């Protein structure tokens, strides 16, 4: 622990501090042998559970063949090609082409560059409390001034609109290259838009020729009860950004687009967007194995059923504990909102002491986000609710 604080860059004054020995399924075990039920899943990474055997087997085989051999796009690497083909097929039109990155923030950066280059426009539009990553471009379209303002000046010509406000969409004009939105805001407090808002947004973007980018870094890969959240809303974006669960536990991001849009990166100049490790063959191998597990087990449907069970349990907690202001969610992306930040901090600390890992969202310090592995069982949900109940009682 001393070396952890002395030599690893810290981003929080109070890290959870669990010394991890192993992780399997929905459980993390520390070096003292204590087990924790994980309702964060690596911030939405472990959709199929931690250290899934199918991913381990696939990666072991790939490690024996080759790892890194050349920068992205120069050699034909089967894991990249197979995963890109699967994703394009599953997402359906208009998504024909996939660009792999190392992370969600890098995928957002690539999507922003692609939008500017393909439209010839400069302006971006995003939404209050949206979160798209911490690189400079991604931060520029972030919707929380507390995290954005210390790094000013950022990208020029960015407009942040109020969330779920139909009238505000008039600000999207013919100068706009792209509008970036999470179909459900995760770090913003699990905020779910009105379906009419997303439909109006799609209509407005189409009318003025702006590209619509859905950031599904959190909501993609089954989390909300469909493989992609846009399938649930019925609104199809022009570009789709994925990461977190995409790599089955390994670093992997991607953005998907029609071929005509993606081809703008090939010319004027060629190699307009390049990456050394994006689409790493080991990560793509893990992503393929994870996708197979997700589909074979119909985990999106499981997310709907288990999510409904967990939501009912949270509603019961709300009725019985005045500390709880509200609950909400879709699939296995849920929120428990407490009345004050202090209550949220004490609640999460007591849950951790009870062997349950959860935390509040980055932009709403009263909101506890629950995003467990989609493999969570009824018994594990019941145990989590017992721990939360005891923490609220205390």
Give the tokens for residue 235.
């609104």
pLDDT digits (tens, 9 = 90+) for 98-151: 999 999 999 999 999 999 999 999 999 999 999 999 999 999 999 999 999 999
The closest alpha carbon to 201, from 193, 192, 105, belongs to 193
Does one domain contain both 71 and 82? yes
| Range of the structural domain that residue 286 is part of | 54-296
pLDDT digits (tens, 9 = 90+) for 261-314: 999 999 999 888 999 999 999 999 999 999 999 999 999 999 999 999 999 999
Considering 215, 230, 238, 347, which one is annotated as catalytic? 215
Does one domain contain both 113 and 228? yes
pTM of the prediction? 0.96
Report the alpha-carbon angle 363-364-366, nearest 5: 155
Does one domain contain both 39 and 66? no
Considering 230, 244, 255, 347, which one is annotated as catalytic? 244
The closest alpha carbon to 142, from 194, 101, 201, 186, belongs to 186
Considering 131, 214, 255, 347, which one is annotated as catalytic? 131
Is 113 considered catalytic here? no
Is 38 considered catalytic here? no
Does one domain contain both 96 and 220? yes
Does one domain contain both 61 and 128? yes
Please report which residue ranges of the chain form alpha helices under DSSP H. Answer: 2-7, 41-44, 53-65, 78-91, 104-119, 136-140, 145-148, 195-208, 229-233, 259-262, 281-296, 299-320, 341-353, 378-393
Number of domains making up the chain: 2
Burial of 230 (0-12, 13-18, 19+ CB in 10 A): buried
Does one domain contain both 224 and 256? yes
Is 131 considered catalytic here? yes
Q: Cα(359)–Cα(373) distance, rounded to whole angstroms?
A: 15
Q: Of 277, 296, 315, which residue sits at a domain end?
A: 296
Does one domain contain both 197 and 286? yes
Here the CATH number for the domain that contains residue 322 is 3.90.1150.10
């Amino acid at each position: 622990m001393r070396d952890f604080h002395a030599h690893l860059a810290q981003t929080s004054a109070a890290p959870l501090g669990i010394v991890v020995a192993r992780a399997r399924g929905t459980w993390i075990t520390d070096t003292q042998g204590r087990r924790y039920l994980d309702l964060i899943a690596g911030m939405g990474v472990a959709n199929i559970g931690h250290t899934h055997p199918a991913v381990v087997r696939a990666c072991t085989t790939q490690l024996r063949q080759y790892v890194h051999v050349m920068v992205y796009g120069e050699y034909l690497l089967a894991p990249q090609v197979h995963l890109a083909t699967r994703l394009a097929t599953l997402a359906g039109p208009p998504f024909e082409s996939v660009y792999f990155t190392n992370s969600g923030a890098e995928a957002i950066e690539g999507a922003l560059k692609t939008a500017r280059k393909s439209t010839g426009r400069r302006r971006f539009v995003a939404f209050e409390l949206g979160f798209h990553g911490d690189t400079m471009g991604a931060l520029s379209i972030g919707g929380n001034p507390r995290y954005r303002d210390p790094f000013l000046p950022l990208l020029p010509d960015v407009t942040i609109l109020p969330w779920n406000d139909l009238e505000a969409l008039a600000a999207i004009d013919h100068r706009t290259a792209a509008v970036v939105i999470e179909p459900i805001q995760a770090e913003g407090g699990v905020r779910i838009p009105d379906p009419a808002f997303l439909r109006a947004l799609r209509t407005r973007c189409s009318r003025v020729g702006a590209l619509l980018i859905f950031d599904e870094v959190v909501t993609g890969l089954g989390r909300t009860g469909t493989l992609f959240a846009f399938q649930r809303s019925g609104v199809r974006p022009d570009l789709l950004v994925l990461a977190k669960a995409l790599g089955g536990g390994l670093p992997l991001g991607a953005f998907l687009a029609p071929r005509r849009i993606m081809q703008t990166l090939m010319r004027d100049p060629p190699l307009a967007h390049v990456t050394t490790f994006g689409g790493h063959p080991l990560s793509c191998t893990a992503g393929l194995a994870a996708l197979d597990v997700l589909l074979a087990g119909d985990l999106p449907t499981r997310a709907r059923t288990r999510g409904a069970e967990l939501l009912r349990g949270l509603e019961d907690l709300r009725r019985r504990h005045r500390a709880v202001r509200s609950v909400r969610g879709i699939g296995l992306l849920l929120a428990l909102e407490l009345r004050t930040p202090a209550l949220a901090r004490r609640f999460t600390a007591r849950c951790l002491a009870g062997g349950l890992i959860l935390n509040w969202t980055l932009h709403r310090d009263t909101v506890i986000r629950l995003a467990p592995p989609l493999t969570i069982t009824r018994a594990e949900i019941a145990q989590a609710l017992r721990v939360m109940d005891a923490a609220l009682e205390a």
